[in-house]
Amino acid sequence: MVDSLIKVRGLTIGATVYPANEKPKDIEIVHGIDFDVAHGKVLGLIGESGAGKSTVGLSTMAYGRGGVRITGGEIWVNGRDILHTPIKDIRNLRGNEVTYVSQSAAASFNPAKPIMEQVIEASVHHGKYSKADAEDRATDLFNQLGLPDPETIGKRYPHQVSGGQLQRCMTALALCPGPDLVIFDEPTTALDVTTQIDVLAAIKRAIKETGVAALYITHDLAVVAQVSDDIMVLKMGDMIEYGSTNQIINTPREDYTRALVSVRSIQHSEQSPEGDAVLTCTNITARYRGTKFDVLHDVSVELFSGQTLAVVGESGSGKSTLARVITGLLPPRDGTIMFDGRKLSADLASRTREDVRELQMIYQMADVAMNPRQTVNTIIGRPLEFYFGLRGAKKRDRVLELLDEIEMGKDYIDRYPAELSGGQKQRVCIARALAAKPKLIICDEVTSALDPLVADGILKLLLNLQKIENVAYLFITHDLATVKAIADSIAVMYQGRVKRYGSKSKVLTPPFDDYTDLLLSSVPKMQLGWLENVLAHRKMESAGN
């Protein structure tokens, strides 16, 4: 292991946590990890949230977020032990030998400074390049990463370029000093699926052309399979499996890795539309107040009781706006909404309590959709009280019933949201929606913030509840795998219009229109060489560029 760039042995990382009503305590979050990265190689770090991926990645720069500290082990970078070296030497390592690309470039760029200044800052600071040379390098990198106007994009401010472009600028920022290692921390996770593929391809090309080594951190095995040579699977701070990409994808040894590889366990065969439509939107056109352009054009969709209509599209396609129109938060300029055989009034204020009760909503961020100072009992009990007048013991009994339906035990009834996991929080939100006995629930990206395995559980739960309660779902998502798993019918939205609409089998059967083709082909597949293959066969460019 002479030429190994990074050598990590027995790495343990600790953090201080502040549990409610208890004294702060120190816990260990990474329990003894070993790995090596050779020059020019890419190691994928994969696992669910809380696995310690980012923590391990940042430790190679001797950095810990918040109260995170490296408590033991050895980290060797370019032949020196960075855990026993003064801060001055560590600063010389950061942004010089090792650089970092974060998940959210939008937050990681200083809003007050032009992009170029930030991209070349580390190179100039460490004296690696003069200002002019660094700017030339950056322009070359912009070009290499496929950014538009590479000569002038550096003069722009971060808010003046799109999310996908900024993510590439961040990659340029990391590559500009000519580092030995780049840490990519979920660099494509926040992007639309059609943008992700371009950024992924740009990163892969840049890694190849510069010959830099990389740690590629992600929760998406299909993504990491496209770029890495080796993969390490982490779970709760333990290493589960470590092997070549080929071995991990094709012949995983551990059960946990197998679960990650074949995460979708849901089979839902579509129901043909029958009975009465619970929701009919006809020719909906809408715009936001104070703007001069429509964000929804002539949208017509229909949803039958007990079924699921998936509305799919990338950000800005108008799918969440459609939800706002249906819930009455944004009265449309034109078009009508029929709900359960009656016409819904356009704005929320003039709807009856029955209308409001029968149309519930679940959100992407379960965290912020609940009052952190209310217990589960209060949260789920509120609609019971409000719509059905239940109080005291009766209310509590019904809350316990609902907790049982969402497969959570009775003990949870007196807990606060902070004491629940991400999946449990979303379950409580589901129970709160169900408590109103709705006919239709609008699910707005309800699994997007969750880990794949947890999301899988939530989708299973939703399908089971649909059978029991005969509730219809309007399921808004950008994730086609989810759509395939649970939909009966699908509406593909693009720039405020419904591009393709019909039963699941019809929408997902070729021939496709160009956009649907782009969307479907952009979903990463768990196979080696998928990325190159797709890019070679694309019919249209993605919009995020």
Closer CB to other proteins, 66 or 510, in the complex: 66
Binding site for other proteins (CB under 8 A): 58, 61, 63, 65, 90-96, 99-100, 102, 104, 107-113, 118, 121-122, 125-126, 156-157, 159-160, 173
Task: Give least dist CB 52 to other proteins, A.
Answer: 18
Task: Give least dist CB 170 to other proteins, A.
Answer: 8
Q: How far apart are CA 131 and CA 97, in angstroms?
A: 19
Place of tokens 């702060």: 24
Task: Give least dist CB 220 to other proteins, A.
Answer: 21
Q: How far apart are CA 499 and CA 515, in angstroms?
A: 8
Task: Give least dist CB 115 to other proteins, A.
Answer: 11
Within 10 A of 81 (CB to CB), how many other CB atoms are there? Answer: 11
Q: How far apart are CA 220 and CA 205, in angstroms?
A: 19
The alpha helices in 85-192, defined as continuous H runs, are 87-93, 105-108, 115-125, 131-144, 163-175
Task: Give least dist CB 100 to other proteins, A.
Answer: 5
Task: Give least dist CB 165 to other proteins, A.
Answer: 12
Closer CB to other proteins, 173 or 224, in the complex: 173
Quick one: which of 378, 335, 328, 336 has its CA closest to 358? 328
Plot region of 185 (φ>0 → left; ψ -120 to 50 → alpha; else → beta) = beta
Q: How far apart are CA 480 and CA 166, in angstroms?
A: 25
Burial 262-285 (b: 16+ CB within 10 A, else e): ebeebebebbeeeeebbbbbeebb
Closer CB to other proteins, 91 or 437, in the complex: 91
Bridge-based pairing of strands 308-312 and 472-477 is parallel
Closer CB to other proteins, 109 or 412, in the complex: 109
H helices, E strands: number in the chain: 20, 20
Closer CB to other proteins, 83 or 90, in the complex: 90
Task: Give least dist CB 479 to other proteins, A.
Answer: 25
Closer CB to other proteins, 51 or 58, in the complex: 58
Task: Give least dist CB 107 to other proteins, A.
Answer: 4
Within 10 A of 197 (CB to CB), how many other CB atoms are there? Answer: 26
DSSP per position, 469-528:
H--EEEEEES-HHHHHHH-SEEEEEETTEEEEEEEHHHHTSSSPPHHHHHHHHTS--SST
Angstrom CA distances, 186 to 49, 259, 440, 481, stand at 11, 20, 35, 19
Closer CB to other proteins, 199 or 491, in the complex: 199
Task: Give least dist CB 5 to other proteins, A.
Answer: 18
